[in-house]
Amino acid sequence: MIDNFKGKTAVLTGAGSGFGLECARIAARLGMNLVLVDVQQDALEQTANELTAQGANVLACKVDVSDATAMEQLALQVQQRFGAPHLVFNNAGVGSGGLIWENSVADWQWVLGVNLWGVVHGVRLFTPMMLQAAKQDPSYQGHIVNTASMAGLLAAPNMGVYNVSKHAVVALSETLYQDLQLVSDQVGASVLCPYFVPTGISQSHRNRPADVAANKPTQSQLIGQAMSDKAVGSGKVSAAEVAQKVFDAVQAGQFYIYSHPQALSLVTQRMQAVVEGANPRDPFVTKPELGASLRQALRNTEN
């Protein structure tokens, strides 16, 4: 929980677009010092220039969050420039689709590297700094927000690698929350579980490493990409609205952050099946035409 953001420091990964950018804009308006992190240089520079022009104190760092050494260097830079951060938004993420057995080792390493290991590195490096600051200053307040997804609470077909990465982030975040409760009243945690929000994540293939980009996408991956583009692009809740929910949650000490609370009915159905020991429910029960279309597209495909 943080009740006053002015003069405090925020570290935001994936700050060049989507939730990271919008949270950085809010943080700047609130008078925070900003550590902007992104792997895409042009987007990072654009965000840094925009917020610096508004008077924000900005440290912009081009970092691949999956790289342990690069993240360790980032943590050192943050410590030297601002001291322990108060808000850490482990938000960088990439999308991925396709039948789960069709993903290459490079696909798995890329998605888990960014979506999961990026969060792991953020937690393992910044949490000790924050706890140390809390020990030294009884007035210190810190909060860590990890971006997961509704895909971390559901298991939609044809997007298995993404699902796995986001389920792991939910589990990591819930454990982080419980662990922090054991050792400190001054540092909290939240997990962001957005549904379909236009952020640019469906175009994350623009930052694919060479070994991933070298593999020709399978038909199921192309189908998954097209479905993701349509679903994300038609989202009615904006990234800016979700960013405000993040700051509201940090201020309230709220753990779960949802962009579309109405989607929780699907989570309820999934958990009922888990408790009952039933087979997984048909994810297209409310939109059978969508399920029929996907089955036909996949079954008529020669991979």
Which is nearest to 61 in space by CA: 21, 16, 95, 8?
16
- Of the candidates 163, 175, 68, 201, which has an alpha carbon nearest to the alpha carbon of residue 125? 68
Which of the residues 140, 162, 195, 258 is marked catalytic?
Answer: 162
Contact call for residues 86 and 3 (beta carbons, < 8 A): no
Unique residue bearing structure tokens 């309230």: 252
Helix (H) or strand (E) holding 298: helix 288-299
Q: How far apart are alpha carbons 239 and 119 in whole angstroms?
A: 20
Q: What are phi and psi of 90, to 5 degrees?
A: -80, 90
Rg (CA), the chain: 19
d(CA 239, CA 54): 20
Residue 240 carries which side chain, given as an amino acid letter? Answer: A
Cα distance between residue 84 and residue 107, in whole Å: 34
What span, in angstroms and rounded, lies between the C-alpha atoms of 217 and 98? 9
Vertex 230 angle, CA 213 and 199, to 5°: 70
What region, left, alpha or beta, does residue 34 occupy, with left being phi > 0 and alpha being psi -120 to 50 degrees?
beta
Q: Name the residue among 96, 102, 130 with its Cα closest to residue 115.
A: 96
Catalytic (active site) residue 162: yes
Residues annotated as catalytic are: 162
